[in-house]
Amino acid sequence: MPGRTVSELERRFGRPATEVLARLRARNAEGGAIEQDDVEHVAAEVGLPRSHVNGAASFYADLAPTPRGRRHVQICTGTACFAATGGAHLEAAADALDAPLGGVSGDGESSLQPVYCLGYCYAGPAALDGATPCAGPDLVAQLLGEAERDDPPIPFHADVAEPVVLAGLAGDGPPAWEVWAEVVAAGDRARVGREVAASGIRGRGGAGFPASVKWGSAAEAPSDGPRYLICNGDEGDPGSFVDRLLMESDPHRVLEGIALAAYAARATHGFVYVRSEYPRARDALRAAIDEARAAGHLGTDVHGTGFEFEIEVFEGAGSYVAGEETSLIHSMEGLRGEVASRPPFPTERGFLNRPTVVNNVETLCSVPWIVARGGASYSRLGSGDSRGTKVVCLNERFRNPGAYEVELGVSLQYIFDVLGGGIRDGTGLRALQIGGPLGGFVSADRLDTQLSFEALRDVGADLGHGSIVAVDESVGGAELLEHIWRFAATESCGTCAPCRIGTRRGLDAVRAFRGGDPRSLNRYAALLETMERGSLCAFGKTVPQAVRSVAEACDDLDVAELGRGER
Amino acid sequence: MRARVDGRDVEIPAGATLLDAARRAGSEVPTLCWDERLRPYGSCRTCMVSTDRAHGPVAACTTRCEDGVEIRTDDDHARETARAALELLVSTLPPRALELPRERSELVRACEHLGVDPGRFAGVRRERPVDDSHPYLKFDPELCIACARCVRICDEVQGTFALAMVGRGFETVAAPGTGGAWAESDCVACGACADSCPTGAIGEAGILDPAPIERVTETTCGYCGVGCSLDVHTRDDRVAFVKPTLDGPVNRGHACVKGRFAHGFVRSPDRLARPLVRSGGELVEASWDEALGHIGAELGRIRDEHGPDSVAAISSARGTNEENYLMQKLMRVAVGTNNVDNCARICHAPSAAGLAASYGLAGGTNPFEDFDRAGVFLLAGSNPTEAHPVVGARIKQRVISGARLVVVDPRRTELARYADVHLRPRPGTNVAVFNGLAAVLIDEGLVDEAFVAERTEGFEALRELAADYDPERVEEISGVPAADLRLAARIYGETEGRALVWGLGITEHLHGTDGVRTLANLATLTGSVGTESGCGANPLRGQNNVQGASDMGAMPDILPGYQKIADDQVRARFERAWGAPLKPERGLRIPEMFDAAVAGDLRALVVFGEDIAQTDPDSGHVRAAIEACELVVSQEIFLSETARLADVVLPAASFLEKDGTFTNFDRRVQRVRPALEPPGEARPDFEIIAAVAGALGTDLGCPTPAAAFDEMASLTPTFAGISHDRLDREGTIAWPCRAPGEPGERRLYGERFATPSGRAQIAAIPYAPSGEEPDPDFPILLVTGRRLEHYNSGTMTRRTGNLELVPRELLELHPDDAAELGVGAGELVSVASRRGRIEATADVTDRVSPGQAFIGFHFPEALANLLTSQAVDEVTSCPEYKVTAVRIGSRG
């Protein structure tokens, strides 16, 4: 990874560059576009090479060198909002603000930045007007001041006997910090790892890796300084909003999970990486950290035990790939959010090349319950190798959108009919996207599939982060296909050739196909195969599965055509 | 471990990648983002192979071998994936990407290997303008395949961090600096990016010219004492381009702006191509016969009329070992004088003297490879990222990856910014600082007691002396805060793998040898010399062959191999071999030669490859000396300041036109091979010296450089095992090497020191003030030194593109002083010392401390040595270039 030596510099000279993105953002907010002198300035402030600060500034969507208006609107172009309007809200907003998508109005007043998901999938389309969220079918009217602003809260429901993830919101789970105080007072590091190992929980961020194994590796890896625990709140999957719910509404439980996990991993410094699209989650966590420190849960002498533990919030800058752990770490180091090949794994060489555990918000939120109630209680829930509960997120095309905690193993049909109440407005279902853009589309006739890591993989989808986005028949298959390719091309980090170039070629091919040029699909099959076999990380490797599943799930698309292209 | 590659079993080390295994098995795997100098990256995906351990194809460069793994490089799926990945890459490039000669484009070779169809994934391309703002490097971003080799080599090898990848997704491309022109970036033109670039996106004119290369000559760089191996590519008897030798033992495929790019001077139109003889006050062209006849007659006359000691020669640290051997033989045998010296006198004589006194041999103690395992560097009076760039880059990388660094330098050099502690003594107070460091080591129990007891002498005297150098007292003398001094001593003393590294900031002082000896004490006290764990005491020698020139006996008191001419047995051995009587008394040192000339005692001076009128201190005095001589001969490649004043100028060959050997800073003897013919009638100095002897009626023997080396080796036990033949076979051999079967001693003194007692000598030497002190009339202390882009007198570098990089001399001045003097950045200022006055452009910077200034000495228009003094090291006569009291003012 090109910035590797820079992160070594940061470690060697004890100046982690976690400030880079924040400082660039501040310059961006003050002075419009990020220009060369902003880069010079920030590089001098943090003591990093200006070339690499320039590289980082050019990587993140929030920091693009495009000018900003006095009013900056981030408009959601995520899958759920796309499904809500077929993309019509984007053009309407551009007209309303007189600013092109990704540009600024002629008078410099307004700018419009398309973003992948603001976490309002249950009420889309949505936008962030400055720091003010607004959402609903009348979004454009809201932006024009012609309708009342609406910032609907996230509906949630625990469809389990005893909520785990939603223990603090929908259940009578242990009050936040209770378990932590007990564990740290007893000095019982082993208990956390033992119970979580017994629970069989697999990481909820998408990869499904057993959480306790990461902790053990990090605890055992040698380090010349602190070990780190990073809570991954870069909930990038369009369609998913459970992490936003937890960070905004139950931040203390998230922090307690971080503390427990860090204790097990022998980490002494925690971070919550919050995506910039979630300003409220950022603020809620910061406030909660201050409260927790005041209450003695954090600090230099936690509950009088001498244990030192601090947590800070890090704000992202607009990159889907930054949700991948190596990329996330790079962005915290003030570098481009590029993916690095593993090994070495972050648990050996992560943030500042020191042992680092990256766990998802939902995973960490389950930890206090698991430690309090015992791993065995958790392990009794679920099915097969998919133990415990999962919060699934249903988008606004459902009659009853929201976040639902369910036991793994329930059928999609149950979620679709009983929890979601089926598709609203009487239109038919074209396909369900499960597990985000790297998951896959499932057609209506596959709803008998179980919600589990294994069963979903068997039908070409993925549990991912548990998003379930219904796309109704008002959206055409080819449109959906282009949407997926556009996402892939926009978010490819650009490191490896197959993904960097393949996503662009795929998008261009589908656009040309939609424009009536069937020859554009020549080589399409070979392209998918090359990306799948040749890409460096899961992003590029999985895009082909996602686009194939669109073709397979959407009966209005000529699948044969897509598959036939010359190799 | 074992691996099976395409059916062939190979043995591989633990940690090897699939690519390592495939290469070992002789299977070809194309790569584009891989470079053996860099950490694997895995971005291009053209090295896909299949294994029995993974489901699909994997990238060979980033996948580690498991024991017994079976690898297929010819698997259809893997090959198809690699081919398609490459076809995707090619689809973003303009057709010219595939038009470079195959031997100069890894991309072209990979496409051939995989049978790429360039049009398969044709689609949109990025259009970006070419950046040709830099004199050497041309950046064509449309050819960039985002492999990041340029970025990574700039980070991981050079450590300049001038480049980064910018943009994301399809738009990703390499870019210099903050995205502006290349010339405005932090690039130091080491050229590593161009060297690594697989497509020619970053290139230099000579590489991008498709005309075929006729010859590649592996030789040793003629700039600085690092000793980089270079592959000189030539066509039409001109240098097309230079690449650092990938497996060069010192440089490992790296070089700097001088070695790689600054070769244009060799074909400069003002190269001397015919001899010149002064006639009627003017230098006029003459034939070799005329010039040599004149020299023979005059030199003979002066020798006969005024005695052999009225003749002297200044030999050249830029010349080869063989030439230096021949020059001292010329003086001793054909003239009959010991008046021969070389410019080590004016740079590192104190290092040689100090090391010999402390440890026994006049060279650095440890090999450069030991820097790779150093835990701490104490870098004193050396600015290696400019003066020894490849060493500087290596130290920087080692420091980034964790080694501690203590810098002792009045100036905030680039490496000082990477230091854990930077001590900034007032110029001239080194001895106090080193004694202070020793005092802290002793006081805080950081001395290796067992080592000191078993292998050293003199500790008690130092312990007593050290009582006078508590950090507070040293702070008073040197201005170095006591706390910093303690911290520095602790860092050095407490860290394993201690490497002491120094440069001319230590030696070029009135008490230069004392500086070296008191600095070496620190290594001795901590058991860092002659031990497995220690990384030694390492002087960074200034010129390419400053080690060798002295090794060869081009000094007034020694014969080759530092054998003392005063020693009767030694002298008798040489007299037998040379068939001529030798005098036991030492001859004149360089500064003494000038004094003797002015006094009328020295009447003829032969100057070989040195521009004494520019580079020796107090130039006014030097010029007076030259003018006082009846005959001055200059062997030169250009009409230098000295040549202009000479009576006969003999056109010589540059290092690219020579055959012989150089010896670098870590005592490695390396071959120098001619890549070009000298221009016109110019001749290698080896031939010139032999011809001058001939003109005096003496045959020096040694018909070839190889024969001269053999003769020297037969008389010099420490070189007895080295020969050109052996060097051609083995590449590089360090002295001492006492027999043809011995490998050469890379690390010295493992068993005993080479001192008479076999023990290292600890020196107890008190601090004494330097030769020049500031006063109200001359309130600022001026330090002189080298800049990255230029080399010494600049005769070579000023005739290359380097002049475009640094076109004039700059005087570094602290902002406080500049404000007080009312001098603005970029303004022409006058600089006057007690001896002379020059003008230079002000560079207002906090690299220098208040009350101090710094200037290079590369430009005759701003002759820094008009300012410097005649004060010299009391032991070796090395001039005090580093301390001159000056007055700075606006011009006029």
pLDDT tens per residue, range B413-444: 999 999 999 999 999 999 999 999 999 999 99
The predicted pLDDT at position A88 comes to 94
B62 CB within 8 Å of a chain A CB: yes
Q: What helix, strand, coil percent values describe chain B, rounded to 5?
A: 35, 20, 45
| Strand blocks (E) in A234-365 | 269-274, 310-315, 356-360
A44 CB within 8 Å of a chain B CB: no
B166 CB within 8 Å of a chain A CB: yes
Percent residues over pLDDT 70 in chain A: 98
**Cα–Cα separations (whole angstroms), residue A197 to A202, A386, B340:** 9, 13, 80
The predicted pLDDT at position A236 comes to 86
Q: How far is the C-alpha of B753 from the C-alpha of B750, rounded, in Å? A: 8
Indicate whether B726 pLDDT > 80.
yes
pLDDT band at residue A561 using 50, 70 and 90 as cut-offs: low
Nearest to A503 among B77, B84, B169 (CB): B169
Size of the A and B interface in Cβ pairs below 8 Å: 180
Exposed e or buried b per residue across B670-709, where buried means at least 16 C-beta atoms within 10 angstroms of its C-beta: bbbebbbebbeebbbbbbbbbbbbebbebebbbeebbebb
pLDDT band at residue A31 using 50, 70 and 90 as cut-offs: low
Q: How far apart are the first and last CA of chain B?
A: 75
Percent residues over pLDDT 90 in chain B: 91
B179 CB within 8 Å of a chain A CB: yes
The predicted pLDDT at position A562 comes to 63
Residues of chain A with C-beta less than 8 angstroms from the C-beta of B415: none
Q: Judging by beta carbons within 10 Å of its beta carbon (0-12, 13-18, 19+), is residue B18 exposed, middle or buried?
A: buried
- Is B169 in Cβ contact with A504 (below 8 Å)? yes
B176 CB within 8 Å of a chain A CB: yes
The average pLDDT across B575-579 equals: 97
B178 CB within 8 Å of a chain A CB: yes
Residues of chain A with C-beta less than 8 angstroms from the C-beta of B170: 489, 492, 494, 500-501, 503-504
pLDDT tens, residue by residue, B230-266: 999 999 999 999 999 999 999 999 999 999 999 999 9
Nearest to A494 among B64, B167, B400 (CB): B167
The predicted pLDDT at position A560 comes to 58
pLDDT tens, residue by residue, A433-444: 999 887 889 988
The predicted pLDDT at position B549 comes to 95
Q: In what order do the strands lie in the sheet with B537-539?
A: B421-423, B404-408, B376-380, B498-502, B537-539
pLDDT tens, residue by residue, A142-198: 999 999 999 999 999 999 999 999 999 997 778 999 999 999 999 999 999 999 999
Nearest to A489 among B91, B170, B175 (CB): B170
Q: How far is the C-alpha of A546 from the C-alpha of A461, rounded, in Å? A: 8
Nearest to B88 among A13, A338, A502 (CB): A502
**Which backbone phi and psi does B500 adopt, to 5 degrees?**
-100, 125
- Is B162 in Cβ contact with A341 (below 8 Å)? no
If DSSP codes are grouped into helix, strand and coil, which group holds residue A377?
Answer: helix
Give how far A544 is from chain B: nearest CA, Å: 14
Question: B608 forms bridges with which residues in the sheet?
Answer: B635
**Overall residue count recorded for chain B in this entry:** 892
pLDDT band at residue A426 using 50, 70 and 90 as cut-offs: confident
**Cα–Cα separations (whole angstroms), residue A512 to A403, A506, B228:** 38, 10, 55
The predicted pLDDT at position A563 comes to 54
If DSSP codes are grouped into helix, strand and coil, which group holds residue A152?
Answer: coil
pLDDT tens, residue by residue, B557-571: 999 999 999 999 999
A517 CB within 8 Å of a chain B CB: no
Tell me which chain B residue has its CA closest to the CA of residue A7. Answer: B400
Question: B241 forms bridges with which residues in the sheet?
Answer: B233
pLDDT tens, residue by residue, A288-344: 999 999 999 999 999 999 999 999 999 999 999 999 999 999 999 999 999 888 888
Give how far B325 is from chain A: nearest CA, Å: 45
Please give the torsion angle defined by the CA atoms of residues B442, B445, B450 and B455, in that order, rounded to the nearest 10 degrees.
Answer: -20
B93 CB within 8 Å of a chain A CB: no
The predicted pLDDT at position A444 comes to 87
- Is A51 in Cβ contact with B81 (below 8 Å)? no
From its phi and psi, is residue B32 left (phi > 0), alpha (psi between -120 and 50) or beta? alpha
Nearby residues of B266 by Cβ (< 8 Å), 6 or more positions away: B239, B654, B656, B657, B676, B679
The average pLDDT across A499-515 equals: 94
Indicate whether A349 pLDDT > 70.
yes
Tell me which chain A residue has its CA closest to the CA of residue B46. Answer: A534
Type of residue numbered A6: V
Indicate whether A539 pLDDT > 60.
yes
If DSSP codes are grouped into helix, strand and coil, which group holds residue A471?
Answer: strand
Q: Judging by beta carbons within 10 Å of its beta carbon (0-12, 13-18, 19+), is residue A146 exposed, middle or buried?
A: exposed
Give how far B16 is from chain A: nearest CA, Å: 13
pLDDT tens, residue by residue, A467-486: 999 999 999 889 999 999 99
Give how far B48 is from chain A: nearest CA, Å: 8
Q: Identify which has the larger pLDDT, B352 or A562.
A: B352
- Is B62 in Cβ contact with A341 (below 8 Å)? yes
Cα B851 from chain centre? 30
A460-469, B133-142, B290-299, B451-460: range with lowest mean pLDDT: A460-469
Nearest to B41 among A1, A224, A336 (CB): A1
Q: Judging by beta carbons within 10 Å of its beta carbon (0-12, 13-18, 19+), is residue B186 exposed, middle or buried?
A: middle
Nearest to A58 among B59, B77, B166 (CB): B166
pLDDT band at residue A68 using 50, 70 and 90 as cut-offs: confident
Number of other residues whose CB lies within 10 A of the CB of residue B450? 9
Residues of chain A with C-beta less than 8 angstroms from the C-beta of B166: 54-55, 58-59
- Residue B879 is given by DSSP the state B
Are A552 and A460 a contacting pair, CB within 8 Å? yes
Indicate whether A8 pLDDT > 50.
yes
If DSSP codes are grouped into helix, strand and coil, which group holds residue B348?
Answer: coil
The predicted pLDDT at position A567 comes to 47
Tell me if ipTM is over 0.90: yes
Nearby residues of A521 by Cβ (< 8 Å), 6 or more positions away: A509, A513, A561, A562, A564, A565
Tell me which chain B residue has its CA closest to the CA of residue A224. Answer: B402
Question: B537 forms bridges with which residues in the sheet?
Answer: B500
Interface list for A 389-408 with B (CB within 8 A): none
A227 CB within 8 Å of a chain B CB: no
- Is A5 in Cβ contact with B156 (below 8 Å)? yes
The predicted pLDDT at position A559 comes to 58
Type of residue numbered B829: V
Are B12 and B1 a contacting pair, CB within 8 Å? yes
Cα A250 from chain centre? 18
Are A203 and A357 a contacting pair, CB within 8 Å? no
B64 CB within 8 Å of a chain A CB: yes
Q: Which range is most confident: A451-460, B123-132, B205-214?
A: B123-132
Give how far A326 is from chain B: nearest CA, Å: 13
Cα A485 from chain centre? 18
Nearby residues of B386 by Cβ (< 8 Å), 6 or more positions away: B392, B413, B414, B786, B787, B788
Are A332 and A3 a contacting pair, CB within 8 Å? no
A52 CB within 8 Å of a chain B CB: yes
Interface list for A 288-327 with B (CB within 8 A): 319
Residues of chain B with C-beta less than 8 angstroms from the C-beta of A53: 178
pLDDT tens, residue by residue, B645-685: 999 999 999 999 999 999 999 999 999 999 999 999 999 99
Q: Which of A38, A487, A495, A539 is the mutation pick for testing B, counting most B CBs within 10 A?
A: A495
Q: How far is the C-alpha of B442 from the C-alpha of B460, rounded, in Å? A: 11
B375 CB within 8 Å of a chain A CB: no
Residues of chain B with C-beta less than 8 angstroms from the C-beta of A541: none
Are B610 and B859 a contacting pair, CB within 8 Å? no
pLDDT tens, residue by residue, B39-51: 999 999 999 999 9
The predicted pLDDT at position B617 comes to 85
Report whether the peptide linkage leading into residue A125 is cis, meaning its omega lies within 30 degrees of zero.
Answer: yes
Give how far B164 is from chain A: nearest CA, Å: 5
Give how far A45 is from chain B: nearest CA, Å: 15
The predicted pLDDT at position B368 comes to 97
Indicate whether B869 pLDDT > 80.
yes
Angle, nearest 10°, between helix axes B459-466 and B512-525? 110
